[in-house]
A and B are shown apart, each in its own frame.
Chain A
């Protein structure tokens, strides 16, 4: 389009710009400044009280050699993988079971199943800490009753990630289930009926009706889950404090530790930017993967 045509198009669609404007305005005021400020901070050393000291790229160089940071990246990747596998599968399963309009007690089920997400993570974190306790926890109590060996869930370097994963899956599945349910509702029942008429079994309905229809929402879930998983903080913080050693430490936990326990704010900022970079790469991969399914860029527009 010529510039003139573009201008006319913009004017014609001014309502669209008006609708999306609030977000960008808010971002300009509350988002842009922190972004730039913390980026500049990554090239400095600052403890919050004494004057800043410019150190160039030293924070990034240190990060690359920082074993604790590398451990945190590894741990967080494990959390992400576990989340993607279990949460998406479980939430889809639960959502499809609950979407059946003939199922008795649907609303009661939906209420109860959503409860994990309603309570504050801090509270359930404490409960899970009790449950996984080595000496008097429920899990070990059951294992003992079954004559199985008890395991050091929270106090060994090998197993410390497990309670964190269990808590995060337990707590987040309902959230995604809710999103999936709303997505399933956009699929017309006629499509299912047509499929039945064509002789399709459950699996085929799933693959050819449900998944394609759910595609936009699925894309949302993938991205949201990735971002959420990489940003995991409260679960490991409450359950294990990141330890023993650094065996369950997450990236954001390390960010918080560097910034607000060790008061190395420049270093913390660089952790944030490296995290952003990681997320960018992973999300970009997902956008490309989903692009082929046509759910990112919409064809039907007015």
Chain B
């Protein structure tokens, strides 16, 4: 008798273990067990920066998963920029009903931090943690705040160096010299003397974009600079990295190596077309602008990793594109959006088909975040615009050795304006760089005082 009972009980235990294992595995995957159905209604997304391609992505997902999305429509609302998304969010919150909020919003870290404190965003830490190692390093960095993750990364675009190979061939300069910033400066000098001042190494923007692209997203992170100390005090005027970066920019400007022309505007595209600008040290997103506005320069451009400061060897800081799910009552479409996001990042054939469709419409193509996908040959295909070089592959390489973005604080929207104002005066030759740096420190102390202390200090 005991023998039979023992056998039965062991059978039962084996069965239950087996059952637990089954259930456990099944619930760990996204779409394989009980079919998911999103609640009927409209999913609203507030986005900026060519949102029609986001709409394309959603439509594509919906077409492939009709059962999941029966009765659901997705509307991407185009806005003029991140500020507008924040304004809309603010108005919805101020009027007291979170129901007015979009379900999903594109945002930037500075607003994400404030919104998370206001309880507007969904905490996605638990959802995202398992995928961390599958992504390129740094994918999550800017979505962290106070130890939690508040947004899903959509793309990560590194800082790159675009150069006009035709110019380099003409003057017999080896682009590899630009592997360091010191080399970059000397290349600039060579170009200037060889062309009698006709060809500029690069551009400088008379308005706020010099700070944005040369400073915050470029030279400063690569020099390991800080604007704020961990305790929130102003350190930009004393921090060795900041000084190094800013003085380097000063030398580029003082030696007349930069063409003063606003970036992302027609006059610069024209000067580029005329061969007056040899390189662009800027984020990978510039690829789409070059192709749209200087279409006829196909074949002349190449791309390489951003230069590094000798001894520091930090690559450029990547620009992260984040999307947050709002904390609406019941968050009806949180699950749906997570699935769409998962699909975008891990469903290779679908991603490739979508990419081809976007390319056909001259849209921006984002490198996958997942390392496995990045290794696929599709993302190493040659690009005729770059004379057969694979832009995607170069971009992927650019993601390998990134530096950390400078710490973003909730005071940063105003900070950027103030710092930029001083830099603009320098570019306009109304003050020296030393004056600019001193002013930056003073203005920040006067108007902001102290930024919030670093809640995520490692």
Note whether A and B contact each other (Cβ less than 8 A). Answer: yes
B413 touches A262 (CB 8 A): yes
A244 touches B89 (CB 8 A): no
Among listed A47-55, A163-171, A215-223, A293-301, interface-contacting one: A47-55
Report the contact-size class of chain A (Cβ under 8 Å from the partner): 35 or more
Task: Tell me which of B93, B208, B265, B271 contacts A243 (CB under 8 A).
Answer: B208
Complex contacts, A68 vs chain B, CB 8 Å: 418, 421
Among listed B3-11, B51-59, B354-362, B425-433, interface-contacting one: B425-433
B428 touches A244 (CB 8 A): yes
A244 touches B417 (CB 8 A): no
The minimal Cβ–Cβ distance linking A251 to chain B, given in whole angstroms, is: 16
A261 touches B447 (CB 8 A): no
B271 touches A136 (CB 8 A): yes
B117 touches A240 (CB 8 A): no
The minimal Cβ–Cβ distance linking B214 to chain A, given in whole angstroms, is: 15
Known: A130-B266, A135-B261, A243-B206. A156 touches B428 (CB 8 A): yes
B93 touches A155 (CB 8 A): no
A49 touches B266 (CB 8 A): no
Count A-B contacts at CB 8 Å. Answer: 94
Docked complex Cα distance between A182 and B264 (Å):
44
Task: Tell me which of A49, A130, A134, A262 contacts B260 (CB under 8 A).
Answer: A134
B93 touches A49 (CB 8 A): yes
Residue of B nearest to A133 (CB): B267
A49 touches B118 (CB 8 A): yes
- A interface: dominant SS: loop
B117 touches A49 (CB 8 A): yes
Docked complex Cα distance between A256 and B96 (Å):
24
The minimal Cβ–Cβ distance linking A244 to chain B, given in whole angstroms, is: 4
Complex contacts, A134 vs chain B, CB 8 Å: 260-261
Complex contacts, B206 vs chain A, CB 8 Å: 154-155, 243-244
Complex contacts, A47 vs chain B, CB 8 Å: 114, 410
Docked complex Cα distance between A270 and B268 (Å):
39
B interface residues with partner A (beta carbon < 8 Å): 83, 86-87, 89-90, 93-94, 114-115, 117-118, 120, 206-208, 259-261, 265-267, 270-271, 410, 413-414, 417-418, 420-422, 424-425, 427-430, 443, 446-447
20 residue pairs bridging A and B, Cβ less than 8 Å apart: A48-B86, A48-B90, A48-B93, A49-B117, A68-B418, A130-B266, A135-B260, A135-B271, A157-B428, A243-B424, A244-B207, A245-B422, A258-B414, A260-B87, A261-B414, A261-B417, A262-B413, A262-B417, A263-B86, A264-B414
